[in-house]
Amino acid sequence: MRIYKVGGAVRDRLLGIPVTDIDRVVVGATTEEMLAKGFRPVGADFPVFLHPKTGEEYALARTERKSGRGYGGFTFHASPEVTLEEDLIRRDLTINAMAEDDQQNLTDPYHGQRDLEARILRHVSPAFAEDPLRVLRVARFAARYAGLGFTVAPETLELMRQLSQSGELQALTAERSWKEISRALMEDQPQVFIEVLRACDALKVLMPEVDALFGVPQPEAHHPEIDTGVHTLSVLEQAAKHKQPLTVRWACLLHDLGKGLTPEEEWPRHIAHEFKGLKLIKAVNERFKAPRDCQELALLVGEYHTHGHRALELKPSTLLELLQSFDVYRRPQRFEEFIAACEMDARGRKGLEERSYPQADYLRGAATAARSVAVQPLLEKGFKGPELGEAIKRERLKALKVYKEKA
Ligand code: ATP
Ligand code: MG
């Protein structure tokens, strides 16, 4: 049996960037031989094993054939006769279809190294079209390597477009899509992920609510970039620049969906877009079964981001409602993430990327003021049940009035 490193490990070593996980392919072996060597089998369908000591992945060389819609519609064929070249040809991109042995001898039948040097993301073979997930994967790699100058080959983008228009994207499960989306959002240039999906018509299919923002104008005074789609991309870009977590990035992507619903006669204003967008945010959340913290933050940011921007003008009672809506007393972290998303929204505007955002500290101070209200004295005064709740609210309101006067 011969063992090769494949995929990301080879690609990233040649790019000179740190290798995070190592995938290996085993040629000329049977399942029985692997088990006899102590490898542990994983996954029901794939002939993939974990190394008895290192826990790293070793997959038997295999070929694949499409036999139906979606991912379930694949038949795998793994046997000792499958060659390395046959295994590599089923892979998505040429830069992912290289292998190397222990001595770093490269096997590169599909010219991955050439494309690596030319900074091109190119599909390996027409079989690319057999798995629609590859549309998302390519967009994700584009987001990851945009900083190195990589772009998608025109013929690959064309294949992605055909896949998007064929209806195959709808066959993807929420779980597989979310895995790609969430990883892509955490890349250095997540806005490139959305741009590439849009360029191949996949965005229309996956997130029509986001796609609809392109071509929708906003008032130039607040939004020098004017276009709502362009703004959304800039907000994502800022979120990545400021190393925001996934929850914040997801909220950034969805915060303005309501603007896609504004009747053209009302452009460039978007009255009540915050509230109108909620049902769209909910739909996208549910479509991809986003984790609960991502779902929650996206809805809260959607509803309250304008409050964030107007923080310094808010009446103490409105400020209190805001803090209550966030349950800032028990969920301080979530409020911090809201503030971060608002700040990214403010910076994701043409020419305003470096502006200061005093609202952030003001909101933090307000939360601290409201949280500083002690419950014990109220208990001692004999308040209980709903009355206690009301008394706490009154005290918090007082604290916020004092805070606002001082600020
Ligand atoms: P990462 O650095 O994100 O791990 P990677 O290229 O190693 O990047 P993996 O998801 O670990 O990506 O997959 C390992 C290899 O398996 C890829 O490089 C690619 O060759 C192949 N591969 C994975 N998923 C697919 C797919 N859906 N279609 C085609 N090839 C795939
Ligand atoms: Mg990998």
pLDDT per residue over 119-140, tens digit each?
A: 999 999 999 999 999 999 999 9
The answer, yes or no, to whether residue 46 has pLDDT greater than 80, is no
Q: What are the tokens at 247?
A: 């929850």
Query: How many folded domains does the chain comprise?
Result: 1
| 140 CB near ligand 1 (under 6 Å) | no
| 134 CB near ligand 1 (under 6 Å) | yes
How far is it, in rounded angstroms, from Cα 12 to Cα 14? Answer: 5
- Residue 336: pLDDT band by 50, 70, 90 thresholds? very high
62 is in an annotated binding site: no
pLDDT per residue over 182-196, tens digit each?
A: 999 999 999 999 999
**What is the CA(7)–ligand 1 centre distance, in A?**
6
Q: Which of 76, 92, 131 to mutate to test the pocket of ligand 1 (most atoms within 8 A of CB)?
A: 92
| pLDDT at site 159 | 97
Q: What are phi and psi of 111, to 5 degrees?
A: 60, 45
Closest CA to 260 of 244, 234, 279, 239: 279
- Residue 70: pLDDT band by 50, 70, 90 thresholds? low
> Do the bridges between strand 23-27 and strand 2-6 make them parallel or antiparallel, or are there none, so unpaired?
antiparallel
| pLDDT at site 407 | 86
Q: State the closest ligand 1 atom to the C-alpha of 91, by its place in the atom list counted from 1.
A: 30
Q: Are 348 and 223 in contact (CB under 8 A)?
A: no
Residue 286, CB-side half-sphere exposure with 13 Å CA sphere:
6
Q: Which of 63, 66, 91, 135 to mutate to test the pocket of ligand 1 (most atoms within 8 A of CB)?
A: 91
| 21 CB near ligand 1 (under 6 Å) | yes
Kindly report the CATH number assigned to the domain that includes residue 95.
Answer: 3.30.460.10
Q: Is residue 139 part of a domain?
A: no
Q: What are the tokens at 37?
A: 């060597």
Q: Is residue 12 part of a domain?
A: yes
| 133 CB near ligand 1 (under 6 Å) | yes
- Residue 72: pLDDT band by 50, 70, 90 thresholds? low
Question: What does the pLDDT average to over 351-370?
Answer: 97
| 96 CB near ligand 1 (under 6 Å) | yes
Element (H, E) at 48: strand 48-50
Q: State the closest ligand 1 atom to the C-alpha of 19, by its place in the atom list counted from 1.
A: 2
- Residue located via tokens 């994701």: 348
Q: Is residue 165 part of a domain?
A: no
| pLDDT at site 76 | 82
Q: Is residue 55 part of a domain?
A: yes
Identify which ligand lies nearest to the alpha carbon of 10.
1
8 is in an annotated binding site: yes
Q: Which of 23, 175, 181 to mutate to test the pocket of ligand 1 (most atoms within 8 A of CB)?
A: 23
| 94 CB near ligand 1 (under 6 Å) | no
Residue nearest atom 12 of ligand 1, based on CA coordinates: 8
11 is in an annotated binding site: yes
| pLDDT at site 47 | 87
**Contact residues for 272 (Cβ-Cβ < 8 A; gap 6+):** 258
Q: Can you give the residue range of the structural domain that contains 33? A: 1-110
The answer, yes or no, to whether residue 55 has pLDDT greater than 80, is yes
72 is in an annotated binding site: no
- Residue 67: pLDDT band by 50, 70, 90 thresholds? confident
Question: What does the pLDDT average to over 261-275?
Answer: 96
Q: Is residue 98 part of a domain?
A: yes
| 112 CB near ligand 1 (under 6 Å) | no
Task: Name the percent of the chain lying above pLDDT 70.
Answer: 98
The answer, yes or no, to whether residue 71 has pLDDT greater than 80, is no
Q: Which of 17, 20, 46, 96 to mutate to test the pocket of ligand 1 (most atoms within 8 A of CB)?
A: 96
Q: What are phi and psi of 47, to 5 degrees?
A: -80, 70
| pLDDT at site 175 | 96
Mean pLDDT across the chain, nearest whole number? Answer: 95
Q: Is residue 265 part of a domain?
A: no
- Residue located via tokens 């914040």: 248
Question: What does the pLDDT average to over 106-111?
Answer: 98
The answer, yes or no, to whether residue 260 has pLDDT greater than 80, is yes
The answer, yes or no, to whether residue 381 has pLDDT greater than 80, is yes
Question: What does the pLDDT average to over 396-404?
Answer: 97
Q: Is residue 208 part of a domain?
A: no
| 308 CB near ligand 1 (under 6 Å) | no
pLDDT per residue over 284-312, tens digit each?
A: 999 999 999 999 999 999 999 999 999 99
Q: Is residue 67 part of a domain?
A: yes
| pLDDT at site 379 | 95
| pLDDT at site 45 | 67
Helix, coil or strand: residue 100: strand
Closest CA to 88 of 59, 62, 114, 69: 62
Residue nearest atom 22 of ligand 1, based on CA coordinates: 91
Q: Are 255 and 349 in contact (CB under 8 A)?
A: no
**What is the CA(95)–ligand 2 centre distance, in A?**
12
Environment class of 100 (CB within 10 Å of its CB; exposed 0-12, middle 13-18, buried 19+)? middle
**What is the CA(287)–ligand 2 centre distance, in A?**
26
Q: What are phi and psi of 108, to 5 degrees?
A: -140, 65
Of 60-74, 199-213, 281-295, which gets the smallest average pLDDT? 60-74
How far is it, in rounded angstroms, from Cα 202 to Cα 200? Answer: 5
Length of the chain: 407
pLDDT per residue over 225-251, tens digit each?
A: 999 999 999 999 999 999 999 999 999
